[in-house]
Amino acid sequence: MRVALGVCGGIAAYKAAELARALQERGCTVQVIMTEAAREFVQPLTFAALTGQKVITGLWAGSHGNGEEALSSAVEHISVAQDNDILVIAPATADVIGRMAHGLADDFLTTTYLAFTGPVVIAPAMNTNMLQHPATQANIDTLRQRGHVIVDSADGLLACGTVGPGRLPEPAVIADAVVRAGTKRRKDLEGEVVLVTAGPTAEPLDPVRFITNRSSGKMGFSLAEAAFARGARVILVAGPVNIPDPVGVEMTHITTAAEMRQAVLDHLPDATIVIKSAAVADYHVANVSPHKIKKTAARLMLELEPNPDILAELGQMKGSRLLIGFAAETDEMIFEARRKLSAKNADMIVGNWVNRQGSGFNADQNEVVLVTRTGETIEIPLGSKRDIADIILDHALRLRLALHASAS
């Protein structure tokens, strides 16, 4: 696999040399593109010596790290975009992330990005406050919506003395993400129709109040994005969330569990894979007040009725479809996931830790356990929800092959 490695200006630029080596150890050929600011931290000769490839530092003739002239025209970024299988930007600064998000191209790296049609992996690294600024987060979200892989920054002590997120992830972590992204270039879900549910439901008490849970929908949206990137037609049924609709995905927005059930049943005939990642409320209020309930000194008693068990209902009517459910748990994960697998007649349950720091509800990362109908128990360590989504899809495809083999 041929990798174009974009290096931006920042103290973490020196780690890009370790990343280049890690990529080579994984069988990749690496060509480095440096921004002007990156040259203030690392000399191009370092990357030329490590990779054995020309290092590009500018758009114009004579701006190459080993002294070679540019190609005969100022369009070398087109050939670099065509010759490489994957584009990696690490470290990615706030400036370059912003320019990429808004389609601004005034140097070799950003012009190459606009001309590149393959997978893109981005590893942000910057001061914590810069990373958490709404503008930076919006730009990162924009790039994620385009299907790019974002390798989340690590927490720790930064060069500026701040402690928090913003550190460049370890080179091995980025290199592994690059390899996964490269293998996903194949469209192994072409011809599939993947039906995904995501987010919470909200069950009204009155016109003002409702019962809900802490689900953000990020895991379900990541699954929808990953399935679409791999060639599937994707239908996403989403509860009330604060996430932009994924590009290319067919959306159905609902509020209550009853609405979610109806939307799922409406789309079920088309689906070949169903992934129930939504955190559906277990109960709804029996008698919803048509007016706002006024506060008094008296205690208020609510009568709750069970909501329909959508996953169990699907388990009885799934046919040849692959059915994947989620189990949000705080303890006895494997036991509960196995119990749910049997009770719901599912093919796979994704056990989702929701009480661990930095994982589960509202987090950008997840730590899960997969239990399957074939008896496997697969523990997936903490990682970004987008990466976890691809891992779940990988195992889902392998599981279906195993189930078909055992049935034949």
* Residue among 238, 230, 329 at smallest CA distance from 275: 238
253-279 as b/e: b if 16+ CB within 10 A: ebbbbebbbbbbeebbeebbbbbbbbb
* Residue among 170, 60, 53, 179 at smallest CA distance from 108: 60
160 classed as catalytic: yes
* Residue among 50, 20, 205, 39 at smallest CA distance from 108: 39
The residues, any chain, with a CB within 8 Å of residue 210's CB and separated by 6 or more, are 202, 203, 204
* Placement of tokens 């899809």 in the chain: 393
Q: What is the DSSP letter of 135?
A: H
CA distance 16 to 158: 16
The answer to whether 115 and 81 are in contact (CB under 8 A) is yes
Q: Which of 160, 247, 293, 401 is catalytic?
A: 160
| Catalytic residue positions, numbered | 160
